[in-house]
Structure 1
Amino acid sequence: MLPYLPLKVSFADMGGIESIRKTVTAQMEEGFKAGIFKAPDLTGIIKERVQIPTRDGASLGGVVYRPESGVKGPLLVFYHGGGFVSGFPETFEPEAELLTKELGVTVLGVAYRVAPENIFPTAVNDAVDSLKWQPLGADPSKGFIVAGSSAGGNLAAGAARNSIDSNLSPPLTGVFLNVPLLVHPTAVPEKFKPHYNSEEEFKDGMILDRRGMQDSSLIVADAYQWDPTSKEASPLLWPKGSKPHPPTYIQVCGADPLRDDGLIYESILREEGVPTRLDVYPGLPHGSLNFMPMLSQSKKALVDVKDGVQWILNQKA
């Protein structure tokens, strides 16, 4: 058993929201002590804390990574995972280091408000509002990408669709979704049900299982209090619009209950004529890029993030 993260674990076993937050943080700390997680080398990168205004007068924390050179590059806005109840923007720091150093991207990680203190649709609104705030060091005309992982992928997909409908200016030029949650299991449209099997197939999966997703009162089902049939909660249900959707890059783990969320969503976008890129990592459970960085597929996925973002930027060129 790994010292920092049991390979068989459910959020439902952690004993409550505060326990989940403390447990995840403690496991990350153990990983750093054991040398499994390594702090990114931010040499040549300016990292700064920022505050992002919201529609209801609140202020969201955020962290910006931008090139020390001062050259303004593309902007990528990222929403972290954590089941809508935990998480922090620094989970994307290895990717931010790579994107900032090698592609000149300015990365904004958003600390959106989480449940149960803030229920649906607060996090959705925070995601939409944060796209309207521009950090120093970015030039969205060179590229403007919204990104997210897991629950954050849910927010990124919804914010992207909202930005299209609301004519966000400057417009998004790309979307990056890592192991995204895109539809509640009870709201899967009939025509997709034959292809929606991973939630059942990996109901007892590593890291994320069915109890942690819905049977437990700890996570999405009760804490977030979402409406499964709402397009803001389940972006896969968003009706096709008359305006073009930005090119989209999706990463999917093969042993993830959310595997089919990403696969179905990619097929929907492709049928709409949206340029898509899809990477699948066979045998990897949910969240392995963050929690199991020593695996060869996790290392590949990190490099693929850079290649996927470069692909999005090339679509604009």
Structure 2
Amino acid sequence: MSRTMEDILKSAEIDPEYKKAVEENPINIGGSDIRGSRAAHLQRLRQFYPIPGPIPEVVETEQQVPTSDGQAIRVRIYSPKQAPPDGSPLILMYHEGGWCVGDLTDEDLNCRMFCRDLGAVCINVEYRLAPEHPFPTGINDSWDALKWAAANAASLKANPARGFIVGGASAGGNIAAVLAHLARDEGLNPPLTGQYLCVPALLHPGGVPEKHKHEYLSRSINKDDPVLKNLDWDIVHVIYKPDRSSPLWEPFNHPLGHKGVAKAYLQVCGMDPLRDEALIYERVLREEAEVQTKLDFYPGYGHMFWTNYPKMPMSRKFVEDTLKGFKWLLEL
């Protein structure tokens, strides 16, 4: 769907229902223990999620996956209790949290839903976090987990020929986009068939190509986003310490371009400071790299709104759209 610049700018006006929810329950994550504060905040909300906890249709196990630096990371594996006769699609999910917070609980809902409703085997990856483990440790962990999944698909009772997808939200969306390029560049076998980029972080303001600067506005005009309004972007970069010249950091400016990466499903929010990099990236993938894309857009809503206000009708629609988007990726 084509959108005029007027439509995009108007999408930054907060939806009345969202405004009411934010005013009644403002997000306040901070203090000396940001990780603990954030985890406690989301734990209070998970009872309102469409799938608030483990379900009988899904078997959940955990495993340690070796990493390229001789360590190991934890993954949670979600397998359908009744596996499809022709094998399950294989999906890896990477959580949000600015590369420095977050854990496996962030993607529990999606993994259970994909497993139950799509018959997929899902792997939820606990990559190591900054500042203890700065760039590129997290992305290296994520790549190691992806290679491990590809090599062990049969023992996981997965059939990547039915679909092999990487996905995540925010920082996890950045990781998924980086992995889609790595999989292409390194000849991952079996190859990825899809990438899910949910409100993804794709482009540093200092790296915006000249031809796109006139439409890269959301980092400045969406400063009042309820989730990211207090975020100091410079601090995030100081904590994570990314190498701006590395293809493992900014997928938008990948030195080899985007041709040949897996098709992409994106969810983008109108009030989100990350809005424009995602909208521009989707168009670049589709028009310049000839990559199949699908985009769902949520005017008047902000970054990660569905996790922080799960009782809103639009939050329920967002989760339903996520499932439909994965059906599109899997050609179901």
TM-score where L is the length of structure 2: 0.86
Per-residue CA shift, 1:198-245, capped at 9, x if unaligned? 100112321113x51414x3xx22110112343321111113458522
The residue number in structure 2 matching 1:270 is: 286
Picking from 212, 220, 225, the partner of 1:205 is 225
The alignment's C-alpha RMSD in Å is 2.1
Q: Distance in 2 between matches of 1:8 and 1:203?
A: 15
Picking from 58, 65, 72, the partner of 1:45 is 58
Picking from 289, 293, 299, the partner of 2:306 is 289
Alpha-carbon distance, 1:7 to partner: 2.6
After TM superposition, the structure 1 stretch with the greater mean CA deviation from structure 2, 228-237 or 182-191, is 228-237
Picking from 111, 130, 136, the partner of 1:121 is 136
The residue number in structure 2 matching 1:15 is: 31
Q: Return the letter of the residue paired with 1:202.
A: N
Picking from 204, 208, 213, the partner of 1:184 is 204
The residue number in structure 2 matching 1:257 is: 273
Q: Distance in 2 between matches of 1:179 and 1:242?
A: 19
Confirm or deny: 8 A CA contact 1:213 1:221 kept in the other structure.
no
The residue number in structure 2 matching 1:304 is: 321
The residue number in structure 1 matching 2:75 is: 62
The residue number in structure 1 matching 2:9 is: none
Q: Return the letter of the residue paired with 2:34.
A: I
Picking from 9, 21, 36, the partner of 2:48 is 36
2:153 counterpart of 1:141: no
Alpha-carbon distance, 1:289 to partner: 2.0
Q: Return the letter of the residue paired with 1:48.
A: T
Q: Distance in 1 between matches of 2:170 and 2:281?
A: 14
Q: Closer, same or farther in 2 for the Cα pair 1:121/1:41, shift >3 Å?
A: closer
Q: Distance in 2 between matches of 1:158 and 1:54?
A: 18
TM-score where L is the length of structure 1: 0.90
Alpha-carbon distance, 1:283 to partner: 1.2
Q: Closer, same or farther in 2 for the Cα pair 1:2/1:27, shift >3 Å?
A: farther
Q: Closer, same or farther in 2 for the Cα pair 1:99/1:184, shift >3 Å?
A: same
The residue number in structure 1 matching 2:40 is: 26
Picking from 91, 97, 106, the partner of 2:112 is 97
Alpha-carbon distance, 1:100 to partner: 1.1
Q: Distance in 2 between matches of 1:130 and 1:285?
A: 30
Confirm or deny: 8 A CA contact 2:142 2:175 kept in the other structure.
yes
Q: Closer, same or farther in 2 for the Cα pair 1:44/1:98, shift >3 Å?
A: same
Per-residue CA shift, 1:73-113, capped at 9, x if unaligned? 00110100011111112212222222111111111110000
The residue number in structure 1 matching 2:12 is: none
The residue number in structure 2 matching 1:214 is: 233
2:130 counterpart of 1:111: no
The residue number in structure 1 matching 2:171 is: 151
Q: Closer, same or farther in 2 for the Cα pair 1:261/1:69, shift >3 Å?
A: same
Alpha-carbon distance, 1:307 to partner: 0.8
Confirm or deny: 8 A CA contact 1:77 1:109 kept in the other structure.
yes
* SS of structure 2 residue aligned to 1:252: strand
Confirm or deny: 8 A CA contact 2:174 2:201 kept in the other structure.
yes
After TM superposition, the structure 1 stretch with the greater mean CA deviation from structure 2, 282-291 or 159-168, is 282-291
Confirm or deny: 8 A CA contact 1:187 1:229 kept in the other structure.
no
Confirm or deny: 8 A CA contact 1:120 1:225 kept in the other structure.
yes
* SS of structure 2 residue aligned to 1:132: helix
Unaligned runs of 5+ in 1: none
Q: Return the letter of the residue paired with 1:80.
A: H
Q: Distance in 2 between matches of 1:162 and 1:206?
A: 33
